[in-house]
Amino acid sequence: MSAAWNGAAPPASPPFTPGDWWRIAWRGAILGFLTMGALVMIVLVRLIERPICGLHRPVTPHFAQIVSRLAFIVLRIDYRVTGRRMTHRGAVVSNHASWMDIFSLNARKRIYFVSKAEVASWPGIGWLARATGTVFIHRDPRHAKDQKELFEARLAAGHKLLFFPEGTSTDGLRVLPFKSTLFAAFFTDTLRPFLYIQPVTLVYRAPPGEDPRFYGWWGEMEFGAHLLRMLAQRRQGSVEVIYHAPLKVSDFDSRKDLARACETAVRGGLASAGLDQG
Degrees (nearest 5) of the Cα angle 42, 201, 256? Answer: 100
Query: To the nearest whole number, what is the mean pLDDT of the chain?
Result: 88
Instruction: Report if residue 11 sits inside a domain.
Output: no
Instruction: Report if residue 13 sits inside a domain.
Output: no
Instruction: Report if residue 2 sits inside a domain.
Output: no
pLDDT tens digits along 113-161 = 887 777 777 766 677 677 778 888 776 666 667 777 777 788 877 888 9
Instruction: Report if residue 264 sits inside a domain.
Output: yes
Instruction: Report if residue 4 sits inside a domain.
Output: no
CATH of the domain at 37: 3.40.1130
Instruction: Report if residue 202 sits inside a domain.
Output: yes
Q: Does residue 1 have a pLDDT over 50?
A: no
Question: What pLDDT is stored for residue 71 in this prediction?
Answer: 95
Find the mean pLDDT for residues 256-275. Answer: 94
Q: How confident is the model at residue 107 (pLDDT cuts 50, 70, 90)?
A: very high
pLDDT tens digits along 172-216 = 999 999 999 889 888 888 889 989 999 999 999 999 999 999 999
Question: What pLDDT is stored for residue 3 in this prediction?
Answer: 65
Instruction: Report if residue 109 sits inside a domain.
Output: yes
pLDDT over 90 percentage in the chain: 54
How many CB atoms are closer than 10 A to CB 275? Answer: 20
pLDDT tens digits along 168-183 = 899 999 999 999 988 9
8 Å CB contact between 140 and 159: no
Question: What pLDDT is stored for residue 143 in this prediction?
Answer: 65
pLDDT tens digits along 68-104 = 999 999 999 999 999 999 988 899 999 999 989 989 9
Instruction: Report if residue 8 sits inside a domain.
Output: no
pTM of the complete model beyond 0.95: no
Tally of structural domains, the chain: 1
- Domain with 141, as residue range(s), is 18-272
Q: Does residue 2 have a pLDDT over 90?
A: no
**Nearest to 24, CA basis, from 214, 232, 225:** 232
